[in-house]
Amino acid sequence: MIRIGLGRDFHRLVSGRPFLLAGVELLSDRGELGHSDGDVLAHAVTDALLGAAGFGDIGEFFPPGDPAWKNADSMELLRISYKKVTAQGWHPVNLDCVVICQTPRVLPYREPIRAALAAVLELPLEAVFVKGKTNEGLGPVGEGLAAEALAVCLLERE
């Protein structure tokens, strides 16, 4: 059996926070605002993984109002979710992601981001891809006020 999951996340950018994608810090004067560390890509991947397995979404498992998750490492949240999914017999086949932000550029950081995701999901590097896009100056993302990420994850179970 196979299933596909789609994840999306969106965070405001503010001064004084690191800009994180899959736990990799990108050089930027602003970062994602969030209850946890705000890692927009890790959140989207977690949602895709949980959704494909039929487990709901990141907010159900790690509620944003719960003090236990304040400033949490989003890659650790992904690890916890991965263990839950694999405990039910599901295993990722591949992951495809898009990060949308005006700045910073994703391309110089793409390989360490892919490697971080592949390590957590126990996938070969070639099964994980991350694309960076801008919003062509349109909307909050295009104005540099926010960042967005989309992720699609294919799971299989024997």
Question: What number is the average pLDDT over the span 88-117?
Answer: 97
Rounded to whole angstroms, the Cα distance separating 55 from 81 reads 9
Q: What is the DSSP letter of 70?
A: T
Rounded to an integer, what is the distance from CA 108 to the centroid of its chain?
Answer: 18
Span 2-156: which CATH code? Answer: 3.30.1330.50
Could you report the per-residue pLDDT of 117-158, keeping only the tens digit for each?
Answer: 999 999 999 999 999 999 999 999 999 999 999 999 999 997
Q: Where are the domains of the chain?
A: 2-156
> 94 pLDDT band (50/70/90 cuts)?
very high
Task: Compute the distance between CA of residue 48 and CA of residue 122 in angstroms, rounded to an integer.
Answer: 16
pLDDT at 27 over 90: yes
pLDDT at residue 72, as a whole number = 92
Give residue 95's pLDDT band: very low, low, confident or very high (50, 70, 90): very high
Question: In degrees rounded to 5, what are phi and psi of residue 97?
Answer: -130, 155
Strand order in the sheet with 128-133: 30-32, 2-15, 146-156, 91-100, 128-133
Structure tokens at 16: 């004084």
For 2-24, how does the pLDDT look when each residue is reduced to its tens digit (9 = 90+)?
A: 999 999 999 999 999 999 999 99
Nearest to 51 by CA among 10, 19, 20, 95: 95
Q: Which residues contact 51 (CB under 8 A, 6 or more apart)?
A: 5, 6, 7, 57
* Residue tagged 């960042």 (tokens): 147
